[in-house]
Structure formats: C-alpha cells, structure tokens
Amino acid sequence: MAVTIESLINGYGQLNYHALKDFVSENSLSDFTAQTPHPFLVGKALYEGELKKKIGGTLSNTSTMKFSVADLRIPPDSEAIDTATEQDSFDYSQNKELKKQKDKDDITHHVYVLRKKSHSISDADNIISIGRNGMNDIVLTDSVISNKHAQIIITNGMYFITDLNSTNGTKVNLKPVIPGSRVQLQLNATIDFGRVGFIFAHPLQLYRFIRKELLF
C-alpha cells in the first residue's frame, strides 16, 4: 500500500521530519501538495537548523492557498492511534528539568499538520485545537503548554489564531495575542506557544526546501 502523508501523522498531529523527507524523495510536488492543503507548523529548531542554515532563504509564500473544511477531518479508520493521554504522556515527577528540555527539543524538531482528529476536543470542523491535553488536534507535550492553549480558526480561506487564556501566552511575530482576540496568520509568520516556537509554512515551499536538502 502506498505511503500517504495522512499515514505518517501520529496522535499528536506530528510528522517525523525524517519520514517526511523519505516521502518527499519518492513523490512529486503535485502529489505532495494534493495531500497537504494547509500550511504546516514547522518547529523553529528544525527550520533554523536543518532547513535555513543548510539551504538559505525563507519559507515565504509564492501562491494563495485554497481551503476546504472537508480537507481537515481525518476518517476514524485511518487516524493514527492517539497515545497522548494525561496519565502516561505528561508525568514530570522524575527528571523534571531534563524532561522539559527534551520535550521542547522534540517538539521544535518536528512538523505539525493542521488536521482534525475523529475525536477532537473541539467539534467545529474549521477549528484546530492546540494544547497539552491529548484530545487536542495538535498536542504539544511541553510543561509550559496549557491543556487548552490556543486555536487556529479557518474562515473564508484565511487563518486566524486565538489564545485560550493560556498560562504562558501565545505570540505571533513576537507580539502577544490577547486572549479571546483573533490574529490573522500570514504565511512565514512565527508563532510561539510559551517557549515553544514554530514557523507557519507553505507546503509548496517546504517541499522545495526538503528537495534541496536531499541534494546536499
């Protein structure tokens, strides 16, 4: 059976970068973009390390993305098993400081996908929930992340982010997001959930960057 982007997404909404590189090496740009209709959250450590430093440039946008709410929802029979539970994923009682750093490093070296779980903390098809609770669509297992930290809302082909009164806040391009307000996300924007940072990256540009990296 052919490997798909959907099959590479784990219960955290996360793509392993090395698996993603293998996928890109074996698939065309048209195949990749057909399966990735929305921007990615690319961990800053990955972006600054394996992408930007090796290749140069930015993940800037070159075209307008079209959005369909139906593209967000993953069928229940194809969704990865969600292992992110409160009991087994967020136990910080031992080696707390080491675990904090490891969690941050793990998160910021990965790519996260805007997609809905079959059993999401939010029922709305156009809302991507982000937080530490395992029922979120994107699960960030860092202790500074609130259980219900933020949401990305898609409306009329545009992307907005709102902070859900999280403990450590959300920033877009280093500017705090006022809880309850909506800030529009532009492609290549930086998004920080507490100390955990991402780049809001266009699939076309991410594919091209990975292809260039494969040549090094």
Average pLDDT of the residues in 123-129: 92
Q: Do the beta carbons of residue 172 and residue 149 sit within 8 Å?
A: no
pLDDT per position as a tens digit, 84-98 = 444 444 444 444 444
Q: What is the pLDDT of residue 2?
A: 80
Give me the mean pLDDT over the 55-69 stretch: 41
For residue 160, what is the enclosing H or E element? strand 158-163
Mean pLDDT along residues 45-63: 53
- H or E stretch including 199? strand 196-201
- By CB atoms closer than 10 A (0-12, 13-18, 19+), residue 62 is exposed
Confidence bin at 109 (pLDDT 50/70/90) = confident
3-state DSSP call for residue 216?
coil
Q: Are 108 and 43 in contact (CB under 8 A)?
A: yes
pLDDT of residue 1: 62
Q: For residues 103 and 141, give the distance between their C-alpha atoms in angstroms, rounded to a whole number.
A: 6
pTM greater than 0.85: no
Give the per-residue pLDDT at 174: 96
Residues in the chain: 216
- The whole-number pLDDT of residue 73 equals 47
pLDDT at 204 over 80: yes
